[in-house]
Amino acid sequence: MNRIYFIIIALLCLLYIVRAVRKNSLSIKESFWWFVASVAMLILAIFPYSIDSIAKIFGVDYPPSLFFVFCIIFLVLINFRSSRRIAIQNEKITELAQHIAILEEKVNDK
């Protein structure tokens, strides 16, 4: 019975991502990794013992800890990508503000 709840949650996550892309609140480029994570969540909900097999491959004794490590790595990578994108956007904003200031100065001089 617990499997059904997790499958429903994974499907709701997938639907939420698709809805966010349709409403243009999330770009397709950004939604890709969230979609991959939701599909992975759905696969783990359908086949819950697959994490045990993956843990054996990596030599991990306690499979849920491997799942949490994967989740933490995923979130750190998403955070890094977002931070990098914010830094690039801030640089562009500063450059645009400088160009506007130069253009305003040229207009005021004439």
- Could you report the per-residue pLDDT of 46-82, keeping only the tens digit for each? 998 899 999 999 999 999 899 999 999 999 999 999 9
The C-alpha atoms of residue 38 and residue 9 are separated, in whole angstroms, by 9
Domain limits for position 81: 62-110
Asked whether residue 56 is domain-assigned, the answer is no
Give residue 1's pLDDT. Answer: 64
Does a structural domain hold residue 68?
Answer: yes
Distance, in Å, from the CA atom of 36 to the CA atom of 107, rounded to the nearest integer, reads 50
Q: Where residue 3 falls among pLDDT bands split at 50, 70, 90?
A: confident
Residue 53 falls inside a structural domain: no
pTM here is 0.73
**Residue 89 located in a structural domain:** yes
- Same-domain check for residues 40 and 68: no
pLDDT class for 99, splitting at 50, 70, 90? very high
Query: Which own/partner contact pairs does 78-82 have at CB distance under 8 Å and 24+ positions apart?
Result: 78/33
Q: Could you report how far apart the first and last alpha carbons of the chain are, in Å? A: 76
The reply to whether 67 and 43 lie within a common domain is: no
- Same domain (yes/no): 35, 8: yes
